[in-house]
């Protein structure tokens, strides 16, 4: 049986065929759209072990449009403005006109069912959203099952279970905010991406029983501030000081306050850049400063993160703000913004050197002898010296060379700069290694979240 849905008849279809299959509390969306790729190809073969269904997605919930429990392998054909779904015999089952992004194909069991596409296994369903010249390839699945694929990528499965549970609540809160607020990827048709830009998602292939248990044991729990769920930010290691969200990113965020972290273990790193390498990185980032003369930290957060770096050269100056410092220098090398420039080859240093100088010394004589042309020597009575009567002494000056200490300024001699830092990531919110430390000392997941996020509740 062929199902046709167009823009004009969508409402009618909604009324006759739309059935809400899952409902969640208003703060916890039931489903999330994860952007797992971007392709230009418009033909996809998808296999659903439990049979497939067509759903409509809206605001974190899904509605069943039509179910095909006996069809396991389908062919999706996409082009500008429509999606066609065929069975393996080429029979057209479903056509969507207009905004194709709201419809998707999924397992008849969207909570537990899986599908295979291109040799990869996924939970839930597959949505295609026209984006630019190609399509966003989107995995639509239950929010809780999505977290199964996030936790092992964001925290080691070997961490204590209370740390894993804190991470599960953080990841759920972040994703819930992205779904309910429209998110930064709405133009691409999904709520979260699979990279560190949002939180890393590895699909079914990365799931781990310990991580899945941490998700199940905290099902539906979010972090609340002033009665509303909040995005819980986290990083690997904050270098010993929790950063303020306001200072690092701007914008009001009362639950992301700065304070010293008593649990975060030390994580020191060091990186060097030669003059040539630094110039090349700056050029790539669009800064041409010529021969570099000076690299200076000109602004810091209260927690010690570098908020502004100024590079001065003979052809110009580059002022690099907090948002670009790590990407310009390489975020894998400069692991956090908590760093010092410990050796700056371009800057002049003051030091003391020893060096010879000419010195005048004075010899004072109080008794004089006169050697006459005749060879006669006799003591001269000063009263006899009429021409020099102004002075009682005869002064003779002589020059000699002595060594003295002197302060001079010169280049440090280092080829490039050496940066010494601590921590890994932005340092705002929860430190994952700090959470591990707290859990190992007996704190529960709610204690951990309330330590890292100011004045929040976990429910």
Residues that bind Zn ion (CB under 5 A): 193, 197-198
- Distance separating alpha carbons of residues 41 and 220, to the nearest angstrom: 37
Q: Which two tokens stand for residue 335?
A: 């692991």
The end-to-end CA distance of the chain, in Å, is: 46
Q: Which two tokens stand for residue 226?
A: 């002033």
Which is closer to Zn ion, CB of 79 or CB of 197?
197
Which is closer to Zn ion, CB of 201 or CB of 273?
201
CB of 264 to Zn ion, least distance (A): 25
- Distance separating alpha carbons of residues 265 and 255, to the nearest angstrom: 22
- Non-local (6+) Cβ contacts of 110 within 8 A are 21, 22, 31, 53, 55, 62, 124, 125, 141, 142
Q: Within 251-391, where are the H helices?
A: 275-284, 325-329
Which is closer to Zn ion, CB of 33 or CB of 338?
33
Which is closer to Zn ion, CB of 195 or CB of 393?
195
The SS3 call for residue 57 is strand
Indicate the Cα dihedral angle 89, 95, 99, 102, nearest 10°: -70
Which is closer to Zn ion, CB of 191 or CB of 247?
191
The SS3 call for residue 252 is coil
CB of 82 to Zn ion, least distance (A): 28
| Count of Cβ atoms closer than 10 Å to residue 227 Cβ | 6
Which is closer to Zn ion, CB of 185 or CB of 279?
185
Pairing of strands 348-365, 223-225: unpaired
CB 206 within 8 A of CB 154: no
CB of 222 to Zn ion, least distance (A): 19
CB 75 within 8 A of CB 85: yes
CB of 292 to Zn ion, least distance (A): 34
| Count of Cβ atoms closer than 10 Å to residue 53 Cβ | 25
Which is closer to Zn ion, CB of 196 or CB of 268?
196
CB of 336 to Zn ion, least distance (A): 20
CB of 1 to Zn ion, least distance (A): 39
CB of 6 to Zn ion, least distance (A): 32
CB of 191 to Zn ion, least distance (A): 9
CB of 193 to Zn ion, least distance (A): 3
Which is closer to Zn ion, CB of 194 or CB of 344?
194
- Distance separating alpha carbons of residues 21 and 16, to the nearest angstrom: 14
Phi-psi region of 428 (alpha: psi -120 to 50; beta: other; left: phi over 0): beta
CB 44 within 8 A of CB 19: no
Reported as type and span, the H/E element at residue 175 is helix 161-181
Q: Which two tokens stand for residue 392?
A: 């009682």
CB of 192 to Zn ion, least distance (A): 6
Which is closer to Zn ion, CB of 193 or CB of 428?
193
Which is closer to Zn ion, CB of 64 or CB of 198?
198
């Amino acid at each position: 049986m062929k199902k046709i849905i167009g823009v004009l008849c969508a409402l009618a279809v909604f009324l006759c065929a739309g059935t809400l299959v899952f409902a969640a509390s208003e703060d916890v969306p039931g489903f999330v759209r994860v952007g797992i790729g971007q392709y230009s190809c418009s033909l996809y073969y998808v296999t659903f072990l439990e049979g497939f269904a067509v759903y409509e997605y809206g605001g974190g919930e899904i509605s069943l449009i039509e179910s095909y429990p006996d069809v396991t392998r389908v062919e999706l054909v996409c082009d500008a403005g429509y999606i066609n779904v065929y069975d393996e015999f080429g029979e057209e089952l479903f056509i969507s006109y207009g905004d194709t992004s709201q419809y998707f194909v999924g397992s008849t069991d969207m909570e537990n069912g899986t599908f295979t596409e291109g040799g990869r296994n996924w939970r839930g369903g597959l949505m295609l959203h026209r984006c630019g010249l190609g399509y966003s390839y989107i995995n639509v699945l239950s929010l809780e099952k999505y977290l199964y694929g996030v936790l092992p990528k964001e925290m080691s499965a070997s961490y204590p279970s209370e740390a894993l549970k804190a991470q599960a609540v953080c990841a759920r809160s972040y994703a819930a905010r992205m779904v309910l607020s429209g998110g930064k990827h709405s133009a691409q048709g999904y709520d979260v991406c699979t990279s560190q830009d949002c939180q890393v998602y590895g699909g079914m292939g990365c799931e781990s029983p310990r991580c899945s248990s941490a998700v199940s044991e905290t099902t539906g729990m979010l972090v609340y501030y002033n009665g509303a769920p909040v995005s819980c930010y986290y990083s690997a290691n904050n270098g010993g000081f929790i950063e303020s969200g306001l200072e690092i990113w701007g914008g009001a965020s009362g639950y992301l306050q700065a304070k010293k972290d008593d649990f975060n273990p030390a994580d020191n790193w060091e990186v060097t850049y030669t003059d040539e390498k630094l110039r090349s990185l700056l050029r790539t980032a669009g800064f041409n400063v010529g021969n570099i003369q000076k690299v200076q930290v000109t602004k810091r957060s209260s927690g010690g993160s570098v908020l502004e770096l100024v590079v001065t050269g003979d052809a110009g100056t580059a002022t690099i703000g907090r948002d670009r410092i790590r990407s310009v220098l390489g975020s894998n090398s400069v692991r956090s913004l908590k760093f010092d420039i410990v050796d700056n080859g371009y800057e002049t240093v003051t030091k003391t050197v020893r060096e010879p100088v000419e010195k005048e010394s004075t010899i004072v004589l109080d008794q004089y002898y006169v050697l006459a042309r005749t060879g006669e020597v006799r003591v001269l009575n000063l009263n006899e010296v009429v021409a020099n009567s102004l002075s009682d002494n005869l002064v003779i000056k002589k020059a000699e060379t002595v060594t003295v200490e002197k302060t001079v300024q010169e280049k440090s001699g280092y080829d490039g700069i050496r940066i010494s830092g601590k921590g890994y990531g932005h340092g705002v919110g929860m430190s994952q290694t700090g959470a591990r430390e707290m859990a190992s000392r007996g704190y529960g997941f709610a204690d951990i979240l309330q330590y890292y996020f100011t004045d929040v509740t976990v429910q």
